[in-house]
Amino acid sequence: MGTPPVITAPTISVTVTEQATPDYKEQARQAGVGTKDSSLVEKFWAVFWASVADGVGTLLEYAARVAGFYLAKILKLMLKLQGDETPEFYDLAAPILSDITDVEIDAATLREAKFGKGRVAVYNKIGEQIVNLLAHDLITPGGKLGVGLKENLVGSGIGGLPTGTLSPDQGVEAARRFLGFAISQAIQGANMALLGEVATFGQVEHFSKYADGVARSLALERQSRAALRPLIDTMIATPLEWALAKQYRPTLLSVNDVTRAYFAGLVSEADALEELARRGLSTAKINALLELEQKRIGVSDVEQRLRWGLWDRATGVDYLRKQGWTPEGAELALQGVELGRIERRAEEFVNVLQAQALDGFISLREYFDQMDALPLGPTEKQFLRLVVSQRVEVPRKALSTAQLQEAVVQGVITIAELEADAVKDGFSPDDVTVLKILTLLRLARFEEAEKEREERKKRNPPPPPPPPAPTPVP
């Protein structure tokens, strides 16, 4: 046998890796982030609340249908109780309205709502009766009102209003009657409530609310007051205001009227002070007001008194301050008046200098020197120099026609020069010819004058004679 083979065992290398401890906190955080990113929570609550909303909506819809059903039944019952199906209800409403309003309201009229024009038309009739009653009672003179319930009092005025005259006395009486009407409503309502409870042995405890509701609707609620306001204002408020004003005369004059009347001597000082005191003015303010409201002379009059020595400067400035001027403004105003007077004198002096320069009494150089001494601006001085210089250099006068003719007669000028001057003066050709003829006649140059006369006739033939007048028809 041979030697058995040697078997070499393989080398096995084993690497041991250390296992890390799990981080459960980080795992939980990552799980939460994943849940958030997936919007799982939001979707859950959205589906939940949508389901709740649908359920609540279904319940509300069902409740509304049930409520509508029962409210409709109740409304029909109320309509039946108010007379549409039970006309006897008006037998209750009519006496209540009549008792509260003192207006005769017939239950049969109310029952016509079922068969006539409708309930609104019937109640409009009741409103008409109440308005007519109020208008009648408010305008009727004292001592002439009837007693007991009144029928529909339709007047002969516009829209059935009663005729009458508004006056202060009527306004006082109307105020008394209206308050009586309001008090009557309250008392009648209270009586009806008490009697209703007594008659039913206390079983109808809310009977008073019926009468109270009717009374409030008639005149005390806001809408009713708005509807009746014109009636109340016209027939009560305005005449009552007249009466109070006539009796007590509370109206005050305006502040301006009081001061004017006081300074005019129409009211005494005591009355004026009392009138102003009633406007809430203190004594110091009243004195200041009377000082300021006085009529005063103007700035020019103050300057005149200063000029004549009647006032000194300080007195004049203080006087102007009471008109609202400041001390600086008063001084400027006085200076303005003084400068205005000087300026007028300067203008008069300029006119004198111009006349002297034009008439030759002074030379242009003297005129210019005098102008330089005046309180005028440089532009104005330059303008006045130009005007006077132009008028001096250019002839300003010419010989008259008679002087020119005399010059021809004396042989100073010729007929041709006379003709040229006449043309320059604006004579027409025919007028120039006439002037030449007259001059020649003065020179006894009759032939030349006759020749000019013939030439003029040729240039100006005589007009044709007028046509003969028509012969009148017998």
pLDDT in tens, 233-275: 888 889 888 888 888 888 899 999 999 999 999 999 999 999 9
Per-residue H/E/C for 160-183: HCCCCCCCHHHHHHHHHHHHHHHH
From the number of C-beta atoms within 10 Å of its C-beta (0-12, 13-18, 19+), residue 139 rates as: buried
* Exposure string for 407-432, b = 16+ CB within 10 A, e = fewer: bbeeeebebeebbebbeeeebeeeeb
Q: Which two tokens stand for residue 8?
A: 């070499």
The answer to whether 185 and 218 are in contact (CB under 8 A) is: yes
Q: Comparing C-alpha atoms, which of 234, 219, 147 is closest to residue 189?
A: 219
pLDDT at 466: 67
Question: Which residue type sits at 221?
Answer: E
Residue with tokens 């001059």: 439
| Distance, CA of 165 to CA of 149 (rounded, Å) | 25
Q: Taking phi first (over 0 means left), then psi (-120 to 50 degrees means alpha), and beta for anything else, what does residue 153 get?
A: beta
Q: Which two tokens stand for residue 62?
A: 């069902």
pLDDT at 440: 82
If you average pLDDT over every residue of the chain, what do you get? Answer: 76
Alpha carbons within 13 angstroms on the beta-carbon side of residue 223 total 2
Q: What is the pLDDT of residues 84-130, one digit of tens each?
A: 555 666 666 667 667 666 666 666 666 664 454 555 666 676 777 77
pLDDT per residue as tens, the chain (474 positions): 445 555 555 555 555 555 556 666 666 666 666 666 666 666 667 677 777 777 777 777 777 777 777 776 665 665 555 555 556 666 666 676 676 666 666 666 666 644 545 556 666 767 777 778 778 888 887 666 655 555 667 778 887 788 888 888 888 888 888 877 777 767 766 666 666 666 665 555 555 565 566 555 554 455 566 767 888 888 888 988 888 888 888 889 999 999 999 999 999 999 999 999 999 999 999 999 988 888 899 999 999 999 999 999 999 999 999 888 999 999 999 999 999 999 899 889 999 988 888 888 888 888 888 888 888 888 988 898 888 888 777 655 678 888 888 888 888 888 888 888 888 888 888 888 888 888 888 777 767 777 777 777 777 766 666 666 666 555
Q: Give the sign of the dihedral formed by CA 343, CA 344, CA 350, CA 356.
A: negative
The answer to whether 303 and 337 are in contact (CB under 8 A) is: yes
pLDDT at 373: 85
pLDDT at 146: 57
Q: Enter the pTM of the model.
A: 0.44
**Residues comprising the chain, all counted:** 474
| Distance, CA of 145 to CA of 166 (rounded, Å) | 17
| Distance, CA of 190 to CA of 209 (rounded, Å) | 10
Q: Which two tokens stand for residue 271?
A: 């009355």
End-to-end CA distance of the chain: 207
Q: Which two tokens stand for residue 247?
A: 């009796």
pLDDT at 1: 46
Q: Which two tokens stand for residue 180?
A: 């009586």
